[in-house]
Amino acid sequence: MRDHDIETQPPRLQIFENVVPGQLLEEMNATLDACRQSWRPADGRRATDTAARFAELLRRHAPFQVAERQACARSRQGAREAGWDIGRGPPLYVLRCVNGSLRGQSHLRHYDSHILTLLIPLQQAAPTRENGDLIIYRHRRDTVAAWKNVITKVRLILLRSLPFAIRRALTFRHLALGLCDRIACVPGNLYVFNGFVTLHANLHVESGERRSLIFHYYDPGLTAGLSHVPRAWRTLRDRLLDAIQPVRSGD
Ligand SMILES: [Fe+2]
């Protein structure tokens, strides 16, 4: 395990190396290969039961289990210090499969609704200029009042509706200015960050397919309900998709 070398205290991004066995990666990718041709929904994001099942399989491996426990403990401590009431809800498990046809899913700068994000890359896209790498901004917001968070969310939603070419140009300009960093997410590693205070996005995927498993923990409830409607809609959509197009794990 090492902290990413961009910052030291506290780490903006923490990387736990080699915590996912290669064989398990192969099994998870084989499960996704089986439904690759018909993967829905169109945005490539799905909170399917399979994601929760993958989480169970990962937790059978001690290195991953230890890393997750450490990340959660650190995050809960941070929430206590910030005075956030994060409740005891279960994590949100999401699978993302993004290829070149999903331009609308890249260069979307945003903050997460949850304070802890665990990113588990399952498969990298082809190594081209744009391969879906994680873009993570250096400046983190520190005080997050609910009203301020809502205004920020609305502003980012408006920016996300900009044309792809402008969103992409902004990303590369910000990289050139040193406002953000490009992180190559390697399968086998675990990437941990606070997506609630850290602005982030992904590069476009020019060729191949980027697959990621994402765990979101601890919602401090500072969106004034703004995230509830889209989240409820996605949950309903994913349950319907699970019913009509199940993603079967190979066990
Ligand atoms: Fe995010």
**Which domains are present in the chain?**
7-243 (2.60.120.620)
Of the listed ranges 26-35, 65-74, 130-139, the one predicted with least confidence: 26-35
pLDDT for the residue numbered 18: 95
Distance 219 CA to ligand 1 centre (A): 13
Who wins on pLDDT, 218 or 154?
A: 218
Who wins on pLDDT, 71 or 153?
A: 71
Distance 116 CA to ligand 1 centre (A): 10
Q: Determine the distance from the C-alpha atom of residue 86 to the mean position of all C-alpha atoms in its chain, rounded to a whole number.
A: 19
pLDDT tens, 181-231?
999 999 999 999 999 899 999 999 999 999 999 999 998 876 655 566 666
Distance 46 CA to ligand 1 centre (A): 14
Q: How far is the C-alpha of 124 from the C-alpha of 79, rounded, in Å?
A: 32
Distance 200 CA to ligand 1 centre (A): 6
> How would residue 125 be classed by pLDDT, with cut points 50, 70 and 90?
very high
Who wins on pLDDT, 64 or 245?
A: 64
Where does residue 238 fall: left (phi above 0), alpha (psi -120 to 50 degrees), or beta otherwise?
A: alpha
Task: Give the mean pLDDT of 54-77.
Answer: 95
Distance 114 CA to ligand 1 centre (A): 9
Distance 134 CA to ligand 1 centre (A): 10
Who contacts 97 (Cβ-Cβ below 8 Å, separation ≥6)? 32, 36, 39, 44, 209, 210, 211
The reply to whether omega before 10 is within 30° of 0 (cis) is yes
Residue 175 has pLDDT above 80, yes or no: yes
Of the listed ranges 68-82, 129-143, 147-161, 215-229, the one predicted with least confidence: 215-229
Distance 119 CA to ligand 1 centre (A): 9
Distance 40 CA to ligand 1 centre (A): 19
Distance 12 CA to ligand 1 centre (A): 14
Contact 206, 25 (CB under 8 A): no
Q: Are strands 134-140 and 198-202 parallel, antiparallel or unpaired?
A: antiparallel
Element (H or E) spanning 117, and its range? Answer: strand 116-123
Q: Indicate the burial class of 87 (C-beta count within 10 angstroms; 0-12, 13-18, 19 or more).
A: exposed
Q: Determine the distance from the C-alpha atom of residue 97 to the mean position of all C-alpha atoms in its chain, rounded to a whole number.
A: 12
Going from the C-alpha of 139 to that of each of 181, 194, 200, 248, the distances in angstroms are: 11, 12, 11, 40
Q: Which of 33, 44, 9 is nearest to 238 (CA)?
A: 44
Q: How far is the C-alpha of 173 from the C-alpha of 171, rounded, in Å?
A: 5
Query: Which string of DSSP letters, residue by residue, matches 199-241?
Result: EEEE--B-SSEEEEEEEEE-----STTTTHHHHHHHHHHHHHH
Where does residue 174 fall: left (phi above 0), alpha (psi -120 to 50 degrees), or beta otherwise?
A: alpha
pLDDT tens, 20-41?
999 999 999 999 888 765 555 5
Distance 121 CA to ligand 1 centre (A): 14
Distance 193 CA to ligand 1 centre (A): 10
Helix (H, G, I), strand (E, B) or coil at 62: helix
Distance 108 CA to ligand 1 centre (A): 9
Highest-pLDDT range among 43-52, 69-78, 145-154: 69-78
At residue 83, what are phi and psi to the nearest 5 degrees? 75, 25
Task: Give the mean pLDDT of 149-166.
Answer: 84
Contact 92, 225 (CB under 8 A): no
